Amino acid sequence: MTPVEIAVEIAGWIGALLILFAYLFLSAGRLTGQSLAYQAMNVVGAAGFVINGWWHGALPSASLNVLWLLIGAVASWRIMKKRGSSTSAM
């Protein structure tokens, strides 16, 4: 296995673990959907899946995860925007 292939596999496994733990923490009540940590885990996890899926030619999976990443990025932006507006009013 080449170093690039190893990196692609690591990205996929890290992505899988991040999304799995994000869901576990959400289900256990340790994180909420409005948590930046939850959204970040999903964004980075989806990025790992995009890299791995694209490399392996799994285009449906890669496409789904591009959308997953975008949803998480928009949610993160909204959370940060909301936090910024609540602190600037003080």
Question: The domain containing residue 35 runs over which residues?
Answer: 3-88
Element (H, E) at 38: helix 36-55
The pLDDT value recorded for residue 77 is 97
The C-alpha atoms of residue 70 and residue 84 are separated, in whole angstroms, by 21
Best CA proximity match to 75, nearest among 85, 83, 87, 63: 83
Rg (alpha carbons) of the chain, rounded to whole number:
15
Put simply, whether the predicted model's pTM sits higher than 0.85 gets the answer yes
Over the chain (90 residues), the average pLDDT of each successive run of 10 is 98 98 98 97 98 98 98 97 74
The C-alpha atoms of residue 50 and residue 58 are separated, in whole angstroms, by 9
The pLDDT value recorded for residue 85 is 80
The pLDDT value recorded for residue 11 is 98
The pLDDT value recorded for residue 12 is 98
Instruction: Give the count of domains, the chain.
Output: 1
